[in-house]
Amino acid sequence: MKGLIWLGLAAITVWMAVLVIPDDNLHVVFCDVGQGDAILILKGTRQILIDTGPGKRILDCLSEKMPFYDKNLEVMVISHDQSDHAGGMKYVIESYNVTHIERMLRQGDEISLGELKVKVLSPENRVLGTSTESDKNELAIVSLVSWREFDALLTADASTKNYPAMEGVEVVKVPHHGSKTDLEPGWWQAVKPALAVVSVGKDNRFGHPTAEALQAIEASGARILRTDLMGTIEVVSDGVKWWVK
């Protein structure tokens, strides 16, 4: 009987491992971390984490979306120094082996993992010693994630005036959690993404996303998904087609 129990446990372990073997698709995961940003990008056995959210909730997302045996993160990018984007950094570092931490990227820099590219669109220059929260937002790292024919624009908290209106982008992370002061309706009309993802906390004190932001996005024809309503949102692409998991 004991031998059968061990055999059963071994079989369960094998099937668990099979279930978490990475596929060949690109996965862009907008983690539900409350009022903050955390985007996990997975391609094969390698990962890039852009921002961490404000606290430990990022660990729930990482443990759910990464194989249980994988405790290595190839790259972690912190878009800017605010707690809702960088507050969980210490918890990630305590729990995972992070090979590269990037905090000072600027326009033209690029992270490459094979065919997967993360190109920095903004800011033009990194300015040290910024003091106001507005300065930090406008100098946040904005990046374009590209794999074959699929593109996702990750905007952090930077206003749409800081980066180009790029046609052909399938997915846009809504800037600054849907603040009305960080968007231009004409930008959304020019980009016309298929999907706009709002990373935002439920019943947050800022009133994000604002009605003005939602109206501008809806007018562009984009589908809107929100982490406060849906939890973690995962977009998957085979390089040509894409879908929400």
Q: Is residue 217 part of a domain?
A: yes
Q: Is residue 222 part of a domain?
A: yes
The CATH number covering residue 115 comes to: 3.60.15.10
> Residue 223: which domain range?
22-244
Give me the pLDDT at residue 9, please: 43
Give me the pLDDT at residue 38, please: 98
Q: Is residue 152 part of a domain?
A: yes
Give me the pLDDT at residue 155, please: 96
Tokens of 103: 């905090």
Which residues sit opposite 41 in a β-bridge?
Answer: 28, 48
* Residue-wise pLDDT tens digits, 199-216: 999 999 999 999 999 999
Q: What are phi and psi of 198, to 5 degrees?
A: -105, 115
Give me the pLDDT at residue 180, please: 86
Residues 6 or more apart whose Cβ sits within 8 Å of residue 41: 26, 27, 28, 29, 47, 48, 49, 50, 116, 118, 145
Q: Is residue 71 part of a domain?
A: yes
* Number of domains the chain contains: 1
| pTM of this structure | 0.89
Give me the pLDDT at residue 11, please: 45
Give me the pLDDT at residue 184, please: 84
* Residue-wise pLDDT tens digits, 62-76: 999 999 999 999 999
Residues 6 or more apart whose Cβ sits within 8 Å of residue 77: 48, 49, 50, 51, 101, 102, 103, 105, 111, 118, 141, 143
Q: Is residue 114 part of a domain?
A: yes
Give me the pLDDT at residue 191, please: 94
Q: Is residue 92 part of a domain?
A: yes
Give me the pLDDT at residue 190, please: 93
CB atoms within 10 A of CB 224: 16
Q: Is residue 59 part of a domain?
A: yes
Give me the pLDDT at residue 10, please: 45
Question: Which residues in the chain land under pLDDT 50?
Answer: 2, 4, 6-18
Q: Is residue 14 part of a domain?
A: no
Taking the C-alpha atoms of residue 226 and residue 229, their distance in angstroms, rounded to an integer, is 5
Indicate the residue type of 23. Answer: D
